[in-house]
């Protein structure tokens, strides 16, 4: 029997919380690995202008087994000194693999120096350098630095290797990925990099509209977008000049730039207050924005570029206008709203719940100890993230009593959607009006069976 199948069948679920828990530090993996190396991209993301941005090295291509190992490592708290945080603690799937707070908390509760950058589409940045100040030459280099950082995870690489070697499952995962069970820091970095590079979600509304009109030039209106969204698109590629720094269908930069956040540099970044220009994809999920998380909303970001660019000596030339003064776009309220509407089309809402990139140590999205003879299907129809109403679909092969409840991130029940006997196909809507923005857990309980979905509410 394949090793992954053994892990799948042998994982013991120990329920330690109401709806999301660590599984005795043993991952639950599919019997057949998820497809990581064959993720299909639409034609506009296969274009030369996009493909040349791919920083995947020839000696570390994404493989199903390698990314599977990387997924387990990414979410394993063993990589931190007191086993309290993982890479996934600061790079949350439902936040586009960023952090909803300005500064993340390390293993002892201390704040990091900068905001956690979103990792989706990290594969597409030509130079391959990472961190806001680009101090890591490659993703392979970057993945090991947080583990050894005294604030973030506080470990040494030999300590991590010893912990992993002491488990029942890591030697098999390393052998599947690399041919032998040897656990080394080089292999750890390669597997983590493969997993991160696999996080490419190419099904945003913008992607759908572009794919439907492959002959439409970049920056032109698309039938699949609304009038307001197309207004924002044309501002972005036209008078707003946003595409000078966020290029191609990736909306990614090419090098660190000073974007006029401060008149006097408060953080040198890559030198002179310059910071990496990350991709705008999935931007609706990754607030707060900038290296220090100073902007809470997309509106705040647009206001900065409209009227707030500071005259720093190192200000990028793209943000200077006549006479060398900082450019003032002075977007009207309608233009501001249009830009926000367009930027929100760049988010692939499936990213937040795709099981390929989910926490294998969590029971979220899996079924624990189902009742014999009862087959329950629980589907999040969406939208997710949502601003108003989202929907779910249940399919039951027999009449059974179920509870469908919603909990806040702190565990407080905020809604009961169903409570009683149900059968067949059941559609349920949840109106989020009146609730604060944030992540909510929707829990389906069917006897001993528990299934959960995470929904992000945005405002």
pLDDT of residue 414: 84
Q: Tokens for 368, please give them.
A: 């624990």
- The pLDDT score that the predictor gives to residue 193 is 98
State the average pLDDT for the chain: 88
User: CA angle at residue 417 from 414 to 422, to 5 degrees?
Assistant: 150
At residue 20, the 3 state secondary structure works out as: coil
Which of the pair, 122 or 396, is modelled with greater confidence? 122
Distance separating alpha carbons of residues 301 and 122, to the nearest angstrom: 21
Task: Give the model confidence (pLDDT) of 253-268 as tens digits.
Answer: 999 999 999 999 999 9
Tokens of 308: 């707030």
* pLDDT at residue 376, as a whole number: 65
- Report the CATH number of the 3-197 domain: 1.10.760.10
pLDDT, tens digit (0-9, with 9 covering 90-100), for 140-188: 999 999 999 999 999 999 999 999 999 999 999 999 999 999 999 999 9
d(C-alpha 378, C-alpha 372), whole Å? 17
Dump pLDDT digits (tens) for 398-437: 888 888 888 775 456 788 999 888 888 888 999 998 888 8
Grouping H, G, I as helix, E, B as strand and the rest as coil, residue 138 is coil
Q: pLDDT value at position 393?
A: 86
pLDDT score, position 412: 65
The answer to whether 276 and 349 have CB atoms below 8 angstroms apart is: no
pLDDT exceeds cutoff 90 at 369 = no
Residue 283: pLDDT band with limits 50, 70, 90 = very high
pLDDT value of residue 1: 42
pTM recorded for the entire structure: 0.76
Strand, helix or coil for residue 243: helix
Q: What percent of the chain has pLDDT over 70?
A: 90
Return the CATH number of 205-347, one of 1.20.950.20, 3.40.50.1820, 2.60.40.650, 1.10.760.10.
1.10.760.10
The pLDDT of residue 33: 93
Given a cut of 80, whether residue 68 has pLDDT beyond it is yes
Classify strands 389-407 and 438-446 as parallel, antiparallel or unpaired: antiparallel
Name the residue with tokens 């469908």: 404
pLDDT band at 34 (very low <50, low <70, confident <90, very high): very high
Distance CA 245, CA 237 (A): 11
| Structure-token pair, residue 363 | 């029971």
Q: Are 349 and 386 in contact (CB under 8 A)?
A: no
Q: Is the pLDDT of residue 3 over 80?
A: no
Phi, psi of 315 (to 5 degrees): -55, 135
Domain 367-457 class in CATH: mainly beta
Question: Given this model, what pLDDT does residue 255 score?
Answer: 95
Q: How confident is the model at residue 13 (pLDDT cuts 50, 70, 90)?
A: very low
Contact 263, 104 (CB under 8 A): no
Q: Over 60: is that where the pLDDT of 16 sits? A: no
Nearest to 76 by CA among 121, 40, 23, 11: 23
Beta-carbon contacts of 51 under 8 Å, excluding residues fewer than 6 positions away, are none
For position 436, what pLDDT does the model report?
A: 85
CA separation for the pair 286, 297 (Å, rounded) = 10
Q: Output the six-digit token pair for 54.
A: 């791919």
Between 441 and 87, the higher pLDDT residue? 87
Q: What is the pLDDT of residue 452?
A: 75
Are 130 and 139 in contact, with CB atoms under 8 Å apart?
yes
Question: b/e map of 226-251 (b: 16 or more CB within 10 Å)?
Answer: eeebbbbbbbbbeebebeebbbbbbb
- Find the mean pLDDT for residues 265-289: 96
- Tokens 């099904």 correspond to 203
What's the alpha-carbon Rg for the chain, to the nearest Å? Answer: 23
Q: Is the pLDDT of residue 36 over 60?
A: yes
Residue 368 has pLDDT above 50, yes or no: no
Q: Taking each helix axis as running N to C, give the angle between helix 157-165 and helix 170-178, from 0 to 180 degrees, rounded to the nearest 10.
A: 100
CB 310 within 8 A of CB 170: no
The ranges assigned to domains in the chain are: 3-197, 205-347, 367-457
Asked, colleague to colleague, whether 3-197 and 205-347 share their fold, the answer is yes
Kindly tell me if the per-residue pLDDT of 95 is higher than 80.
yes
- Give the C-alpha separation, 186 to 202, whole Å: 29
Query: In Å, how far are 49, 56, 124, 126, 455 from 121, measured between CA atoms?
Result: 15, 12, 6, 12, 22
Give pLDDT, residue 47.
Answer: 95
> What are the DSSP calls for 347-389, one per residue?
--GGGGT-GGGS-TTB-TTS--SPPTT--EEEEEEE-SSBSSE
65 contacts 176 by C-beta, under 8 angstroms: yes
- Inform me whether the pLDDT recorded for 199 exceeds 90: yes
446 pLDDT more than 50: yes
Find the mean pLDDT for residues 31-51.
93
Dihedral over Cα of 386, 387, 391, 392: its sign: positive
The CA–CA distances, whole Å, from 30 to 9, 11, 65, 171, 454 equal: 9, 11, 12, 17, 20
Q: What are phi and psi of 339, to 5 degrees?
A: -65, -45
């Amino acid at each position: 029997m394949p090793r992954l199948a053994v892990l799948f069948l042998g994982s013991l679920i120990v329920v330690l919380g109401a709806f999301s828990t660590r599984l005795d530090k043993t991952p639950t993996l599919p019997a057949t690995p998820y497809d990581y190396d064959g993720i299909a991209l639409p034609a506009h993301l296969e274009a030369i202008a996009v493909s040349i941005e791919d920083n995947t090295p020839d000696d570390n291509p994404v493989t199903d087994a390698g990314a599977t190992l990387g997924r387990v490592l990414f979410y394993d708290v063993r990589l931190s000194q007191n086993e309290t945080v993982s890479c996934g603690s600061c790079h949350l799937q439902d936040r586009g693999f960023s952090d909803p707070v300005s500064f993340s908390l390390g293993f002892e509760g201390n704040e990091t120096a900068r905001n956690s950058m979103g990792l989706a589409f990290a594969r597409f940045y030509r130079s391959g350098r990472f961190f806001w100040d680009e101090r890591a030459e490659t993703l392979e280099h970057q993945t090991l630095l947080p583990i050894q950082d005294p604030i973030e995870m506080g470990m040494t690489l030999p300590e991590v290797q010893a912990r992993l070697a002491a488990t029942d499952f890591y030697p098999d995962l390393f052998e599947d990925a690399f041919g032998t069970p040897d656990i080394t820091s080089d292999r750890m970095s390669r597997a983590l990099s493969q997993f991160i590079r696999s996080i490419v979600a190419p099904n945003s509304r913008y992607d759908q509209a572009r794919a439907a009109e492959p002959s439409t030039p970049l920056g032109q209106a698309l039938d699949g977008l609304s009038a307001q969204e197309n207004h924002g698109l044309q501002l972005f590629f036209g008078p707003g000049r946003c595409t000078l720094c966020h290029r191609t269908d990736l909306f990614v930069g090419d090098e660190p730039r000073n974007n006029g956040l401060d008149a006097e540099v408060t953080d040198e970044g890559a030198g002179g207050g310059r910071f990496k220009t990350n991709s705008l994809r999935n931007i609706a999920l990754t607030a707060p924005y900038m290296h220090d998380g100073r902007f809470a909303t997309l509106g705040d970001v647009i206001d900065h570029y409209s009227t707030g660019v500071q005259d720093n000596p190192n200000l990028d030339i793209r943000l200077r206008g006549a006479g060398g003064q900082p450019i003032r776009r002075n977007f009207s309220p309608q233009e501001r709203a249009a830009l926000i509407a367009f930027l929100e089309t760049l988010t692939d809402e499936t990213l937040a719940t795709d099981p390929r990139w989910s926490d294998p140590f969590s029971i979220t999205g899996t079924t624990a100890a189902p009742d014999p003879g009862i087959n329950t299907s629980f589907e999040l129809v969406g939208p997710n993230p949502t601003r108003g109403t989202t929907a779910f679909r249940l399919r039951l092969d027999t009449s059974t009593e179920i509870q469908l409840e919603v909990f806040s991130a702190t565990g407080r029940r905020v809604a009961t959607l169903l409570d009683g006997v149900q059968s067949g196909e059941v559609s349920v809507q949840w109106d989020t009006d009146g609730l604060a923005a944030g992540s909510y857990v929707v829990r389906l309980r069917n006897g001993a069976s528990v299934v959960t979905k995470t929904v992000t509410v945005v405002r």
